[in-house]
Amino acid sequence: MAYRPSWKGHLKVSLVSCPVTLYNATTQARMVSFHLLNPETMNRIQMRPYDPDTGEVERQTLVHGYEVEKGHYVTVEEDELKNIRLPSTKTIDIEKFVDRDAIDPVYIDGLYYLAPDKGGEDAFAVIREAMRAHRKAALGRLVMSHRERTVAITPRGSGMLVEMLRHPQEIRSDKEIFDAIPSAKPDKGMVDIAARIIDQSSGKFEPKDFEDRYESALRELVDARARGKTVAVPEPPRDTKVVDLMAVLKASLGRRGPPPAGGGTVIRLPTRGAKRQRPRRTAKPRRARG
């Protein structure tokens, strides 16, 4: 099945321009999805617009509204939204080039593929290979779904990858979360062992290895119900165990693969400055005098 374009326009770098097409890089089509049904009739529920004062409303009569204060709105017609024509509505005008690693992953939102449209193959290839040679990402702007988005564009194979970037006001500060984390340095011996565990578990990134186990279980449930059967309820996780962190780290050396299924592990750390308690000696039984 041919991919459906999400956007069509031009990619422009200085005076060089070429027609391009944008395609969504991800899909939910293969995922299990459910519909809401009336269990008495097995009919799908229809979500219809409803006004609490007048009842059901025809969808084509609806307008966009923005709440300026509690209970008060200004309305905007669809044609008025279409008449907002920024330069980025039909053109991705590259504003600057940055190092690929300079883009903080927290800003990345959605992913798209960018391909040349008819007649733009040569200019597209020149821009792509120049960025590849210098390991740069291009930053520009693009209007989609009534919003102007900042985008980062990088070479990918014979095409390019477009990353939608969130605006700074969309990002929550991490300080209120991370500042509560204790700043004490961990034990060097423990860190060394953890580094060895990382080394023995290192490998290539293989997406096929990361199966969506919830999706598989969901399909198993749906298939069983379709055959009129039920799926056995798995046992709940075992109770957590309180263990010593150093002991867990040492036990992890030489282990490969995911941890065994079951309960989690609660780590108990030795308290700094606490004195070790020596085991009590059992008193020897006295010999009876005779």
Output the DSSP codes for 154-192: EEETTEEEEEEE--GGGSPPSHHHHTTS--PPPPHHHHH
Structure tokens at 161: 């990858």
Q: pLDDT at position 16, please? A: 92
Most confident segment among 25-29, 155-159, 210-214, 226-230: 155-159
Q: pLDDT at position 114, please? A: 97
Query: Which of 133, 126, 137, 74 minimizes the C-alpha distance to 103?
Result: 137
Structure tokens at 91: 């053109």
Q: What is the per-residue pLDDT across 182-238, written as a single tens digit (0 to 9) for each?
A: 888 888 998 999 999 888 888 888 888 888 788 888 888 888 888 888 878 777 777
**pLDDT surpasses 90 at 258:** no
DSSP letter (8 states) at residue 57: -
Q: pLDDT at position 97, please? A: 97
Q: How far apart are CA 115 and CA 125, in angstroms?
A: 10
Fold observed for domain 7-31+83-168: Ku70; Chain: A; Domain 2 (2.40.290)
Mean pLDDT is lowest, of 252-256, 257-261, 279-283, for 279-283
Task: Give CB contacts under 8 A, 24+ apart, made by 232-238.
Answer: 237/262, 237/263, 237/264, 238/262, 238/263
Mean pLDDT is lowest, of 79-88, 113-122, 128-137, 256-265, for 256-265
**pLDDT surpasses 50 at 63:** yes
Q: Where are the alpha helices (DSSP H) in the chain?
A: 78-82, 121-134, 175-178, 188-201, 213-226, 245-252
Residues 6+ positions from 145 with CB-CB distance below 8 Å = none
Query: Which of 169, 6, 146, 149 minimizes the C-alpha distance to 64?
Result: 146
Outline which parts of the chain fall under CATH 2.40.290.10: 7-31+83-168
Q: How far apart are CA 222 and CA 239, in angstroms?
A: 30
Q: Which residues pair with 151 in a beta bridge?
A: 140, 164
